[in-house]
């Protein structure tokens, strides 16, 4: 019955309307184009779909129902979108919790009450905006729908009261002219029912049914012929004039039933008029459903709009932070760092202003640090030079003093002592010359003459110089043939020569020496390793290995590895080492490989100098 109440129907005979029921208003005359061609005919008119059935040559029935509109489909899509979004958020949250649980099992510290701490600031802004708007939409939507439902109910009740009062006035005319119930009352009820398109029931003062527009229903005892007890109580005992309440049929159909008291001019009770609104519940439900459909579509549209706005707004908020992050990652000592231009004086503007001040302070600190390092380097270098010069001067002075004593005393071994003293002086002068040469080379290396060369050729020329060393075996494993690099061949050979010589000198005399040289290409770089099986480097000395004043040997200034490091870095390369005490040391050099050479593009404008 509930499903059928949404349909309207009409009966036509000879294209003339003879009966109709429902909310749709049918024309009094009808002429269909396809009438008579087939028994069933479907067509659409207005907001209704119609089914026309010819069950006789001159008789047809038209059944009509409201058409489904696009808003209903949109409501379904919006509802599914909303449910999917909620499920996605819940599943994502559960996934985060599960990930944290797995991390906890692996020994990591987690915070179950703050699973969003690893989410980006931009995403947090979007989530805060979306959840705030979602909560506001849910609350406002609930309150709006609740108030509208109450207004719809009150409006419908007011219409029902106005309608039943109007019908009662129509029936009062009958009781004014007639004192008893008669067949004329049935005719009047039928006529009034057809006129207002509603069902009408009339009860006598004792609550018994005396007339109805649906008498067959009561005669078949589908419905009771007695008035509803609650209505009888409210109207006769509590003396209300109009009463509306909800009744049920077999606990399945709920409907609104309206009652009004009929009285004569002397206020004597004549009976009760009842209008059962069987379809009112469905009508209200349809109105409420339509309202919810429109509200859901509107709110989903607003949510999508706010989602788009939140993405844009969050990007506006986080863009300055991303700029600051990028500049902070590029912030380096020894180079000119860029400042950030920002016109606004808000919190972001003050943060950027502090960053710009920090850049200025960093530049000043870097300049002061560089100046201090240069001064410190020169002081250390001067101390080392003075120390190294003083070492050979002491034996020179002693030898000359002894020679002077021998000459004064006419020592018979004067000639032999003179010869030894001369040899000592020559050796110590050679040491002084070597010290001066090393310092000069390190302080102002010659300007490199850059060219493209084959690494294998350059390395082999240096290795061939040490093939004659008897106690050391030099092995070359070249896995990258015909590798071309852009360097100064003289300085590169000097670097190789220094590293190979150090490797040989690091091997003790009582050990069979072995120097392994490997060449491996890795993408756009070539890696050269020089490994020895010497004594290695002590842990406390490893941090000083490339310092200008460091040396593990008893003679010289220890500038060899410092010069090598400076040469390799001037070629945009890197140098580092691994060492194990009493097992050996491996030095690594990485240099960029030349794929397509352009001299003008790669030619350096200046050489190396001590800054």
3.40.1360.10, 3.30.565.10, 3.40.50.300, 3.40.50.150: which CATH number matches 451-602?
3.30.565.10
- pLDDT at residue 4 is higher than 70: no
Q: Which of 378, 444, 377 is nearest to 607 (CA)?
A: 444
What integer best gives the mean pLDDT of the chain?
79
Question: What pLDDT score does 586 carry?
Answer: 96
Question: What pLDDT score does 88 carry?
Answer: 75
pLDDT band at 387 (very low <50, low <70, confident <90, very high): low
Tell me the C-alpha distance between 152 and 438, whole Å.
Answer: 101
- pLDDT at residue 280 is higher than 70: no
Between residues 521 and 144, the one the model is more confident about:
521
Between residues 447 and 516, the one the model is more confident about:
516
Between residues 152 and 50, the one the model is more confident about:
50
Between residues 321 and 18, the one the model is more confident about:
18
Least confident of 225-229, 504-508, 598-602: 598-602
For 202-212, the pLDDT digits (tens) are 998 899 998 88
For 67-92, the pLDDT digits (tens) are 776 655 666 666 677 677 778 777 77
Instruction: State the sign of the Cα–Cα–Cα–Cα dihedral 344, 350, 355, 356.
Output: positive
Between residues 559 and 140, the one the model is more confident about:
140
End-to-end CA separation in angstroms for the chain: 100
Question: What pLDDT score does 602 carry?
Answer: 45
Packing angle, helices 70-105 and 280-330, rounded to 10: 50
- pLDDT at residue 517 is higher than 90: yes
Tell me the C-alpha distance between 590 and 520, whole Å.
Answer: 10
Q: Which of 513, 544, 536 is nearest to 587 (CA)?
A: 536
The phi and psi torsions of 208 (rounded to 5 degrees) equal -90, 140
- How large is the average pLDDT for residues 222-251? 88
Report, at the CATH architecture level, how domain 152-281 is classified: 2-Layer Sandwich (3.30)
- pLDDT at residue 192 is higher than 50: yes
Question: What pLDDT score does 391 carry?
Answer: 66
For 392-418, the pLDDT digits (tens) are 777 778 778 888 888 888 888 888 888
- pLDDT at residue 233 is higher than 90: yes
For 96-109, the pLDDT digits (tens) are 677 767 766 766 66
Question: What pLDDT score does 107 carry?
Answer: 65
Tell me the C-alpha distance between 112 and 44, whole Å.
Answer: 59
The two structure tokens encoding residue 335: 């180079």
- For the chain, what are the domain ranges? 4-67, 70-118, 152-281, 347-441, 451-602
The two structure tokens encoding residue 104: 């906890």
Tell me the C-alpha distance between 52 and 54, whole Å.
Answer: 7
CA distances (Å), origin 433, targets 264, 377, 494: 143, 22, 19
For 443-484, the pLDDT digits (tens) are 655 667 889 999 999 999 888 888 878 889 999 999 888 899
Between residues 322 and 111, the one the model is more confident about:
322
Residue 419 burial by Cβ neighbours in a 10 Å radius (0-12, 13-18, 19+)? exposed
Look at the pTM and tell me if it is higher than 0.85.
no
Question: What pLDDT score does 375 carry?
Answer: 79
Least confident of 38-42, 185-189, 580-584: 38-42
- pLDDT at residue 562 is higher than 50: yes
Tell me the C-alpha distance between 178 and 10, whole Å.
Answer: 34
Across 74-78, 352-356, 579-583, which has the greatest mean pLDDT?
Answer: 579-583
| Residue in the structure block whose two tokens are 């004192």 | 179
H helices of 107-214, in order, are 121-177, 183-196
Tell me the C-alpha distance between 179 and 301, whole Å.
Answer: 63
């Amino acid at each position: 019955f509930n499903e059928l109440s949404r349909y309207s129907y009409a009966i036509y005979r000879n294209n003339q309307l003879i009966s109709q029921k429902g909310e749709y208003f049918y024309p009094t005359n009808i002429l269909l184009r396809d009438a008579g061609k087939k028994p069933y005919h479907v067509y659409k008119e207005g907001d209704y779909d119609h089914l026309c059935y010819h069950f006789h040559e001159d008789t047809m029935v038209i059944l009509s129902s409201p058409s489904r509109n696009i808003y209903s489909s949109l409501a379904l899509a919006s509802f599914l979108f909303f449910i999917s979004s909620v499920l996605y958020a819940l599943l994502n949250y559960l996934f985060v919790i599960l990930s944290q649980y797995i991390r906890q099992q692996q020994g990591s510290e987690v915070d179950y009450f703050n699973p969003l701490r690893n989410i980006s600031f931009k995403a947090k802004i979007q989530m805060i905006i979306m959840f705030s708007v979602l909560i506001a939409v849910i609350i406002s939507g609930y309150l709006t729908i609740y108030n509208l439902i109450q207004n719809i109910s009150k409006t419908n009740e007011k219409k029902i009261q106005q309608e039943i009062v109007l019908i009662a006035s129509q029936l009062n005319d009958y009781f004014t002219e007639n004192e008893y119930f008669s067949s004329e009352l049935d005719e009047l009820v039928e006529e009034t029912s057809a006129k207002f398109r509603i069902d009408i029931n009339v009860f006598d003062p004792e609550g018994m049914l005396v007339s109805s527009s649906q008498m067959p229903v009561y005669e078949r005892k589908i419905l009771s012929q007695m008035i509803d007890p609650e209505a009888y109580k409210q109207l006769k005992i509590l003396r209300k004039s109009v009463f509306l309440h909800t009744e049920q049929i077999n606990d399945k159909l709920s409907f609104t039933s309206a009652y009004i008291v009929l009285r004569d001019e002397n206020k004597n009770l004549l009976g009760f008029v009842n209008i059962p609104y069987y379809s009112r519940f469905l009508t209200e439900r349809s109105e409420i459903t339509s309202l919810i459909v429109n509200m859901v579509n509107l709110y989903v549209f607003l949510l999508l709009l706010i989602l788009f706005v939140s993405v844009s707004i969050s990007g506006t908020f986080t863009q300055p932070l991303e700029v600051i992050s990028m500049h902070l990652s590029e912030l380096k000592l020894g180079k000119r760092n860029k400042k950030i231009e920002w016109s606004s004086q808000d919190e972001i503007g003050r943060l950027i202003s502090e960053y710009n001040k920090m850049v200025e302070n960093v530049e000043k600190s870097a300049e002061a640090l560089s100046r201090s390092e240069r001064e410190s380097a020169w002081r250390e270098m001067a101390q080392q030079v003075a120390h190294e010069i003083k070492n050979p001067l002491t034996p020179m002075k002693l030898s000359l003093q002894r020679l002077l004593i021998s000459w004064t005393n006419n020592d018979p071994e004067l000639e032999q002592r003179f010869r030894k003293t001369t040899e000592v002086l020559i050796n110590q002068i050679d040491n002084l010359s070597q010290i001066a040469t090393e310092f000069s080379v390190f302080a102002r290396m010659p300007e490199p003459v850059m060219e493209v060369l084959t690494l294998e050729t350059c390395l082999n020329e240096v290795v061939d110089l040490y093939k004659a060393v008897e106690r050391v075996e030099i092995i070359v494993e070249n896995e990258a043939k015909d590798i071309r690099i852009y360097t100064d061949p003289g300085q590169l050979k000097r670097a190789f020569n220094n590293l190979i010589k150090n490797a040989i000198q690091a091997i003790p005399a009582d050990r069979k020496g072995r120097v392994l040289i490997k060449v491996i290409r890795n993408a756009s770089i070539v890696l050269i390793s020089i490994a020895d099986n010497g004594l290695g480097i002590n842990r406390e000395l490893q941090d000083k290995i490339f310092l200008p004043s460091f040396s593990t040997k008893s003679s010289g200034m220890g500038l060899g590895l410092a010069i090598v490091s400076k040469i390799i870095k001037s070629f945009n390369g890197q140098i580092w080492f691994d060492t194990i005490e009493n097992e050996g040391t491996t030095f690594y050099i990485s240099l960029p490989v030349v794929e397509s050479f352009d001299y003008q593009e790669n030619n350096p404008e200046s050489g190396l100098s001590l800054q």
